[in-house]
Structure formats: structure tokens, C-alpha cells
Amino acid sequence: MGKPLIHRSPMPGLGLSMGITLTMLSIVVLLPIGALLAKGASFGIGNIWDTVNRDRVWAALFLSFRLSLFAALFNLVFGVLLAWVLVRYRFPGRRILDAAVDLPFALPTAVAGIALTALHAPNGAFGSILGQLGWRVAYTQWGILIALIFVGLPFVTRTVQPVVEEIEREVEEASATLGASRFHTLRHVVLPMLAPAALTGFALALARAVGEYGSVIFIAGNIPLVTEIAPLLIVIQLEEFNYDAAASIGIAMLLISFALLLVINLIQVWSRRRIGHV
Amino acid sequence: MHIEIDEIAKAFGATTALHPVSLAIPSGALVGLLGPSGSGKTTLLRILGGLEYPSSGRVLFDGRDATGLTVQERRAGFVFQSYALFRHMTVFDNIAYGLNARPRASRPPGAEIARRVTKLLDLIQLPEIGRRYPSQLSGGQRQRVALARALAIEPRMLLLDEPFGALDAKVRKELRQGLRHIHDETGLTTVFVTHDQDEAMELADLVVVMSMGRIEQIGKPADIRACPATAFVRDFITA
Amino acid sequence: MSDASALARAAAPDAPRARAFRAATDESPLVRWILVAVAVTGLLVLVGAPLFVVFSEALAQGWSAAAKSLSNRDARSAIRLTLTIAAIAVPLNAIFGIAAAWFITKFDFRGKAVLITLIDLPFSVSPVVAGLCIVLMFGANSAIGGWLVAHDLPIVFALPGIVLATLFVTFPFVARELIPVMIEQGRAEEEAALTLGASGWRIFRTVTLPNIRWALFYGVLLSNARAMGEFGAVAVVSGKIRGQTATMPITIEMLYNEYLSVAAFSMAAELTLLALVTLLLKAALEMRHADQLAAFRRH
């Protein structure tokens, strides 16, 4: 045997802290997730596949994933821009802007949902203007996209901001002394340095958006095959006490979450190997 | 290239980093700016490189006013104290960076870039490290890569900010010889900043002693040692 | 230096030249202006407008209509329920966070990375899936749930289920905030206290806690905001029984679906004020105690 399971240590509180940690982790997280997987196992892989392999479920999963991807892409670009502006520029109102980035974290999703709906509904402030241009947002996929952009807004900014703060000015100066234009420096020196953090934030925003429920259902319209998101399907199945179907879709979503978690970790390993630290 | 500094002064807000200083650097010289921290030596170097703008005064390259030239236009090979290597690029890409950054019309073809990078890696005596990343190099290797990167753009002069500051004593001695060798090989007008009087005296043809934003003395190392012009210089070089 | 050249310099002041100079690390003024404008406009549209709408809709029929909608029995019960849930879930979370951070940072054991990943897991699970897991575990159809219901201890569609769902979604907040701070601070101070003969509790109270208290407060703040605002997970486990298991966010949904806009937005405005206070405290903490917060230590 190599390493012992737990190193002996004079530090007090091993039993207590380990006990609380493992007990609460089990009751709150592991056992419930285990219950979902057990339900899936007893239902059988074939049955799960049959449940998921229906037009309405595929449409919902595809819709959730596709719009989440678009929202995360928007947030990737806008988030990097925001991080850059907030760290590098000084202008009146910067602190308020900085605090405002966190609002989607702090604001309950149901509140965001009804506020965005009121704003974009045909008689709302934005909805009436966009309506005149022939562009309907509320109760269409555009509405879902806006809600997903809202909830994912802080992730990229907050992961990229500390990296921008740490960029040594000398590296940018070095690029300039070698004759590179400012644009070339941003494109070939600054952006690659921000890339790992930006991708991590992108994956986090994507993971959040795929599972998002509260802010979306009000503005989505929830029309099957068109604007019905995957989490809503679970809720519908549960309301019909169809636990097997709910568990099947839940497992499909869990797999997507795990895949995204894996991607996030791979990004971090990759960046650590290339740049020497995260 | 002949460099002339004409009454250059620099203030950062209320603090004066440089009082008007003048200095002529003959073509091909190896000049050491020597002084304690806060003496204005790094500010002067950065003004030469175009990284700071003087509050007043002029810089002349070969007799032509270069004060208004941008960093990019100056083509000064600058070696930073921290080396400022691009961590996400290999050593090869670091050295090739300045050539790749040129506008398409004046950019050498890929094979030519590769040839020049290989030649520079030979010059710094590290021919095997092109595919490594900066994080995989020792401090001394990084310093030499930074030097090669600065040389790749065929600079008109070489400016080095505390080039050996972050290295241990043994490596420092070796690299001094390396810099001397490269200077003699390329014949570039070279200015380096140091707070280490041994380094300045051993390496430079011409030493400029600075203190509190003023030039205290300009002279050959032997002359400065033989007859220090001010009490400050005497104290500093015997310290 | 001749007088003529000195005169020439005086006649041609450097100020205009200096203004034209741009540091090598700056973008041109036009580019800066455009980027700031895009950032400000983007945030106004995406964040500012919804914020404004919450209050304007709540006050659409004046203050008294808004106040009245918050004072009926169901509304008061929802507010009470939400406060109760936060009062149970947040302290439990804080205790878990402290225990987990102590266990992870003060001891060396195999599988530490796995444990940290498991603690972070709830962040990447959909709240609806979280609620589903709890229903499957403790619902009347499951073995445990059936037994509990038979003994008159229902979890799903009752307070314990809502608390469990809230714990799930807020699970990583405190631990995630404390672990990096405690790693940074190392074990030396605790070890010193140990050699001086202090007991475990005493070390925690007098040595560790003062070093982590702002990070702890920060984590509690974030977990409280999420606990009071959670919707998806609670929607699944609560059963949405008006006056009994309808939290504030659930009540907002019910009022909104009944077209009681003023009432829905009045309750939303209350939660929005909570969010704004949270952000204010967060900004104050970040300004005054940045050195102690994990968010500022990421490398």
C-alpha cells in the first residue's frame, strides 16, 4: 500500500469535521442523486431510451442545449468585453456597473422571469418597440434566449476579471516594442491569455443555462416542440405523477451536466499544462 | 545608431522622475545606466524605447528627431526585467513574434522566419529549445530567449532593463559575457539599466551614473573609478 | 545650450504633443469610448431595464395597492415561510461549509479532489433535477418516503422537503468561499496554538474564525440570497399549497399566472430589494476586506 487513507495529524476535529461533511453531503446531495440513478436502473436503459427518444423530448433537449449555447456564446463575447472595460478603464459609474454584473446571481429567477416577460411582452416597454419592427420576443425562442443570456451574464466576466488584473503590462509593452499594432497585441497576446478563463466561464454559463427553469418558463410560452425547455418537461411529468418518465429525462440532463463538468476540468488541466498555472 | 538625449525631463503628476538630462550615445557603444532605485534610469530607458513620453526635451536618432515616434516605429529591441515572454507561445513563436506581427507586405515568408529564429537560437547557444514553453525554462534561459526575441526584429538599438536582476550570481556572470559577445557580434548601440556597480563597470564602455533624476557623471569605467565627480558617485561605487 | 534653442522650446510647448502620445498598453480613445458605450448599453438593456420594470409594475397602481397586496394572509404566510426556510437552511449550510473547509484544509487524505468535485456538483445540476432527486428519494412512492409518511413525517410537499431542496442548490456556497482562503492561510497559526496548549474549540474560535469571518459572511450572504429566491427546485418539491408550502417565489408565479400583476410584482420588488441589499453588502465587503475573500485570490 502506498499512501495511507488519512495522514495522522495532531490537528483536532478530524472526526467531527469529517462526520458533518460526509453526513450532510450524503443526505443532501449523494443519496438524492443516487435515488434518481436507482430509479433509472429499475426502469431499465431500454425504457429510458424509449422515453427520451420521442420527438417532444428530443425537441426540448435540443432546444435547451442550442439556445444555451447561443446565450453562452453571447456572454462569452460580452463578458470578456465587460471584464476588460471594468478592469482597464476608469469612467464615472464604473463601480455601479461592476456591481450590476452580479444582479443575475442575486435576483431570484422567478423575479427575473416575470420582469423580462413584462418588458418584452407585446405591450411592454421593449416589446412594443420591437413589435412595430415585426420582431416578437416574448413567447418565442428569442425570449428564451434573452432569459438565458440574463442568467449566464456574470459567469464569463467574473472568471475573466481576475486574469485581466494579473496581466503584466510588460508583456503588452513587449509586444509593442516588437512592432505589433495594438490590435495585433490584443488578438495574439491578450486574448490567448484570457482564453482558458473565458472558456471556463463559458462552460459554467452553458451548464447554468441548460438547467435553467425559473427565468425561462414565464417568457417562453411553453409550446410543445417549439418553446418547451427540457426542465419544464420534467415538471410536467411530475405533475402527472409519471415518475419513470421524469427520471428518464432527469438522467439525460444529468449526463449533459456531467459532460460539461468534465469539459470544465479538462480546460483547466489544459491551461495549467500550457501556461504553467491556471 | 547614434542616440542623442536632449534636455529630457519627465514628471509623473507632482513627482519629478527626471530633471532635464542630456546625453550623447555614440553609435555601437555599450552604455550602462547605473543608479539606485528611483534614480530615473528606468524612466530614461523607457523614454528611449517609446514606452513613456517625456514631459519636455527631445530624443534624436542619427540626428533626426525621434521624440514623436511610436513604440512600434522605433524598432528598439527591448528586454524587460521580468522578460515578459508570452507564456502561451513556444520559444520559437516568441522569437518569431515580431516578424509575424509585421504587415503582410513586409512580412518575411515562413521559411525565412524559421531560418532566422534558428540562427538566433544558435546565437544564444540554446539551439534545442524552440518547441518548449517559457514555463519549462530556467531563469537564465528565459533571459536569453527574451534577448533573442528582441534581436529578431533587427532592431536599431538594444535596450535592457535590469537584464540580470532576477538571476543568481553565477548565472549572472555567464550572461554578462553573453551580452558582451552578442553586442560585439551585432555592433548594436546598447543601453542597459542596472543598480549593480560591478555589472556596469565590468560590462559597459560608457557608464552613466544617475541619482534622483539627475545625471551625476558620464565616463569610462576606469575614469569614474579614478576620479568620481561627486560625493554621491564616490559613495555609490565604493559601496 | 544656446538661448535660441531654449526659446524655440518655450515657443513650441510640449503639451499638445504629450496629449497625442498613447501608452503602449492603451487602446485609442475612440475604441475605448465605443467599448465603454457597448458595456453600459448592454448592461442597461439586459440588467437595468428588468430591475426598473419590477418596481414600476409593482407601483403601477400606487403605493397603497402594492402595500395592500403584501398584507393579505397568503402573502404574509409566503413571506414567513421563506424567512423560515432561510433561517434553517443558511445556518446548516454555514456549519457544513465550515466543517468541510476544516476537513479539507487541515487534513491530508486520499480522494480530496473527488470530495471537492462532489461538493461543487450542485452548481452544475439543474434545480429541477435537484427537486426531482428529492422527490424520488423522499416522495410517498419511495421506501423511505412511504415509511416517513406512515409515521406522519412527510418530507415532500412539506417544509422539510423545501429545506432539503434549498440546501441542495445552496450547498457549495460557503465551503467554496472558505476553502481557498483557508488553503492560503495554511496551518501554521493553528499549529502554533496547538503547541501553546489550546483546545480544538478554542483554536477555532480565537485563531481560525477571526481569519475567515469575512469570507464566511460573504458565503452566507450569497447562500441566503439564493435560499430566499430559489424557484425551480422548490417548485418541484413544494406542491405549491397556498398558505402552506408556497414560498415567495412560488407565490409570485401563482399571482402572475392569475394576472394579479401588481401583487406579483410587489412581492417580486421585496425580493429585488433583498437582492440589492445583498449586492450592496457584497460590494462593501469587496472594497474593505478584499484581502480575505476567495474571489480575489483566484490565480
- ipTM for the complex shown: 0.91
CATH code for residues B1-75+156-239: 3.40.50.300
* Residue C115 grid coordinates: 470530495
Residue B79: pLDDT over 50: yes
Split at pLDDT 50, 70, 90, the class of C294 is: low
- Residue-averaged pLDDT of chain B: 93
| Chain C closest-CA separation from residue A1 CA (Å) | 12
Q: Which of B42, B69, B71 to mutate to test the interface with A (most CBs of A within 10 A)?
A: B71
d(CA A185, CA A171): 9
pLDDT digits (tens, 9 = 90+) for C227-268: 999 999 999 999 888 888 999 999 999 999 999 999 999 999
* 8 A C-beta contact, residue B118 and residue B127: yes
Tell whether the model's pLDDT for residue C297 goes beyond 50.
no
The dihedral over CA atoms of B53, B56, B62, B64, expressed in degrees to the nearest 10, equals 100
Within 8 A of C47 by CB-CB distance, chain A residues are: 100-101, 103-104, 150, 153
pTM of the model as a whole: 0.89
Interchain contact, A231 vs C39, CB within 8 Å: no
Q: Kindly write down the DSSP assignment for every residue of C180-224, as one continuous string.
A: HHHHHH-SHHHHHHHHTT--HHHHIIIIIHHHHHHHHHHHHHHHH
Q: For residue C35, give the nearest of A85, A107, A246 by CB distance.
A: A85
Best of A178, A270, A277 to disrupt the B interface (most B CBs within 10 Å) is A178
The CA distance from A97 to C35, in Å, is 13
Name the residue among A24, A29, A247 with its Cβ closest to that of C121. A29
- Kindly report, residue by residue over A160-170, the tens digit of the pLDDT: 999 999 898 99
Residue A275 binned pLDDT confidence (cut-offs 50, 70, 90): low
Its CATH class, for the domain covering A43-275, is mainly alpha
CB contact under 8 A, A84 and C35: yes
Confidence label for A11 from pLDDT (cuts 50, 70 and 90)? confident
Chain C nearest-CA distance from A205, in A, is 10
Place of cell 418539491: C237
Contact criterion met (CB < 8 Å) for C96 and A158 = no
Domains of chain C are 1-58 (no CATH), 63-296 (1.10.3720.10)
B51 touches chain C (CB under 8 A): yes
For range A6-29, the mean pLDDT: 92
DSSP secondary structure letters along B187-205 = --EEEEEES-HHHHHHH-S
- Residue by residue, DSSP assigns C121-156 as GGGGS-HHHHHHHHHHHHSTTSHHHHHHHHTT---T
Residue A31 touches partner C, C-beta closer than 8 Å: yes
Domain ranges of chain A: 43-275
pLDDT digits (tens, 9 = 90+) for C121-164: 998 899 999 999 999 999 888 888 888 888 888 888 999 999 99
Mean pLDDT of chain A: 91
- Give me the pLDDT at residue B222, please: 92
Whether A29 has a pLDDT exceeding 90, the answer reads yes
Query: pLDDT at residue C3 above 50?
Result: no
Mean pLDDT of chain C: 88
Binning pLDDT at 50, 70 and 90, where does residue C295 land? low
B190 has pLDDT over 70: yes
pLDDT per residue as tens digits for the range A42-93 = 999 999 999 988 999 999 999 999 999 999 999 999 999 999 999 999 999 9
Instruction: Region of A121 please: left (phi>0), alpha (psi -120 to 50) or beta.
Output: beta
pLDDT value of position C13:
41
Residues in chain A closer than 8 A to B75 (CB atoms): 179
Domain ranges of chain B: 1-75+156-239, 86-154
pLDDT at B167: 85
Spatial distance between the Cα atoms of A110 and C268, rounded to a whole number of angstroms: 8
**Distance between CA B238 and CA B195 in Å, rounded?**
13
| Percent with pLDDT over 90 in chain A | 76
Q: Measured between CA atoms, how close is C39 to chain B, in angstroms?
A: 28
The answer to whether A12 contacts C228, with C-beta atoms less than 8 Å apart, is no
Closest residue of chain A to B148, computed from CA coordinates: A178
In the predicted structure, residue C90 carries a pLDDT above the cut 80: yes
Chain A positions touching C135 (Cβ under 8 A) are 238, 243
Mutate to test the interface with B, among A167, A175, A177 (most CBs of B within 10 A): A177
Describe the strand order of the beta sheet including B15-25 as a list of residue ranges.
B15-25, B3-12, B56-61, B64-65
Predicted confidence (pLDDT) at residue A260 exceeds the cutoff of 90: no
Q: What is the CA radius of gyration of chain C?
A: 27
Q: Is A73 on the interface with B (CB under 8 A)?
A: no
pLDDT digits (tens, 9 = 90+) for C19-72: 467 788 888 899 999 999 999 999 999 999 999 999 999 999 989 988 988 988
Question: Rg of chain A over CA atoms, in angstroms?
Answer: 23
Contact between C225 and C274 under an 8 Å Cβ cutoff? The reply is yes
pLDDT for the residue C136:
93
**Strand B214-219 with B157-161, pairing:** unpaired
The alpha carbon of residue A136 is apart from the nearest alpha carbon of chain C, in Å, by 17
